[in-house]
A and B are shown apart, each in its own frame.
Chain A
Amino acid sequence: MQPALEWQVGEVTRVRTETPRTKTLTLALPKWMAHRPGQHYDVSLTAPDGYRTERSYSAASEPERAGEVDLTVERIDDGEVSPYLDDVLMPGDQLEVRGPIGGYFVWDVSLGGPLLLIGGGSGVVPLMAMLRHRAAQKAPIPARLLYSSRSAQEVIYRTEFERLADGDGELEVVFTFTRHAPPGWTGYQRRIDPAMLDEVMQSLGNGVRSYVCGPTLLVEAVSNALVAMGLPAGRVRTERFGPTGT
């Protein structure tokens, strides 16, 4: 049996606003362990009377950044935890976490590619950890990210995606907007569908490994489509969040 995964008290060292609804917390961890991109941490909050609740958040950072981890948290307005993490926590605060956790929705360069990442909304967070890791390793593995957002202002990590793709001939980042495209936008303006997947995958070749993360409806539609297009089910790894996920 593996040793128990222990709770540890991390310190918030930085809070960065990503979008109007999303912030990234950087935690310095005394018992930091390298995660595999795609893994998550459990967060535990305790009220003064002892009431306690937990949630899970994907690591957004690459494991090459030793000693700390980024958690990107989307605020759910009626949520119990995400408004606390996004609006109350400040640098210097402590946060109890344990991790890294999860062994299936993970990718590192040792698995190779080509890599197809498909994210909806904050489902892009674990995919970002994979792309940051790929960049840190300078691995020339062909990779595509297809990222569906409602509008341009909800795109998380936009400038970093553009920077990553700019200097990297093997990486393409493709956005689609399902409600409001920015003025002059000539790219996709619809939900992800088989035709879009086909276009994004065209240049990837065979043996694609795909990771799909987002709301249940998106993940269902995309993973069914990928299987219908001939990807083996074992190469379509999914992580879903329902409408709840506070």
Chain B
Amino acid sequence: MISRGFFGRRRPAEVENRLPPGQYLVTDFPVLSAGPTPHTPLDRWSFTLEGLVGSPVSWSWDSFLKLPSQAFTVDISCVTKWTKLGTKWLGVSVDTLLQSVHVDGTARYVMAFSDGGYTTNVPLAEMVNGQAFIAYQFDDKPLAAVHGGPARLVVPHLYFWKSAKWVRGLRFIDHDEPGFWESLGYNMHGDPWKEERYSGD
């Protein structure tokens, strides 16, 4: 349906081509969270791989920072419709973390879990091969708490609710399970290019 009298704001093609369907460009960094921002002191922070793994492994903040890190620049899209291009992060790739643990062959999905009880599910195949990171710097600065600091998951090819803020670990599971938003009507997968916003999309 054409909206009478609507013409829209066109961006240069090189920008339009990077905006998934229905999304609009932002240059700031909006904040969306369902509840209060947790503030876990760094000396009580840890990051854990658990579930279908040989034996669970945990890092303290200091030991996490000693892991090989990677800078990466990605476009991010929030299900609330904004897309931000060229965001600059520093973090540890999930591939690097997986070198410290044996993941059982039956693991198919990952449930990320966070301070405050937030969870989100991602297929294991979409967490590896440079597709997902635990990021602790944004724009060359420590990641702010409102944006998920001290560390958040960044899975840029999925809507950003999958990039769990305040992430504290990954649980490997053999079947798909809804996380927080997925149990409240949001899509189990969340690919912005397929506009998988809500359950059934």
Contacts and interface: CB of A to CB of B under 8 A. Distances in A.
B82 A244 contact: yes
A115 B180 CA distance: 23
Interface centre among B24, B36, B146, B185 (most CB of A within 10 A): B36
A190 interface: no
Interface in B93-139: 116-117
B74 interface: no
Size class of the contact patch on chain A: 35 or more
A201 to B, nearest CB: 16
Contacts of A105: 34
A1 B2 contact: no
B116 A54 contact: no
Size class of the contact patch on chain B: 35 or more
B142 interface: no
A2 interface: yes
A1 B180 CA distance: 16
A238 to B, nearest CB: 6
Contacts, number: 127
A82 B89 CA distance: 32
Contacts of A224: 36-37
A44 to B, nearest CB: 7
B25 to A, nearest CB: 9
Contacts of A236: 35-36
A234 B38 CA distance: 12
Given A56-B81, A88-B6, A4 B24 contact: no
A204 B26 CA distance: 40
A80 B9 contact: yes
Interface string B163-187: 0000000000000000011011100
B80 interface: yes
Nearest to A96: B1
Interface stretch (B40-48, B152-160, B193-201): B193-201
Contacts of B28: 242-244
Given A47-B2, A101-B185, A1 B199 contact: yes
Contact of A242 (B30, B181, B184, B198): B30
B189 to A, nearest CB: 11
